[in-house]
Amino acid sequence: MSRFSARVRLVPMLLLVLAATACGGGVRDYIADTYALQNTAGDAKTYTSNDPVGTTVSNIVAEEDPAARKADGGSEYLRYDDDIVTVSAGPGGGSLVRVEDIDGRYRSGGFAYLGPGFNPGSPAGGASGSGGSGSAK
């Protein structure tokens, strides 16, 4: 095989890889594009939604399934590969959506009280991924 034919074969593979990585920016990008930014603190960002917690969570989950999900005290927690999303009641019947990097509070055990799927080192998928029923409204 000549160098030219090897390069010709390599180009379509590179284009495929680039196309695959350019599609879909994940849950963080979806939230940034959908909700109004309210606050930034380090790597954590808080957004506002006019919808109640249940509706907001349903919309986020419809965009991308979390690896784990749990409702606790009127808030919903969604764990993704790189982010933790917390949706809680906001002013006027809306909700607040907090997105933070998984390397922060999650890695230090800050969400361990939520149980399976929220302990540091929890697998990215599996049976623990259906911890909540979306009962927070």
- Beta bridge partners, 75, equal 72
Measured distance CA(57)–CA(133) in Å, rounded: 11
State the angle between helix axes of 53-63 and 26-34 in degrees (0 to 180), rounded to the nearest 10.
130
Residue of 63, 74, 81, 50 lying closest to 132 (CA atoms): 74
Measured distance CA(63)–CA(27) in Å, rounded: 7
* pLDDT confidence of residue 128: 38
Res. 24: pLDDT tops 60? no
Lowest mean pLDDT among 4-8, 63-67, 101-105: 4-8
pLDDT (tens digit per residue) in 41-51:
988 999 999 99
Which of 23 and 12 is assigned the larger pLDDT? Answer: 12
Lowest mean pLDDT among 31-35, 39-43, 124-128: 124-128
* pLDDT confidence of residue 19: 39
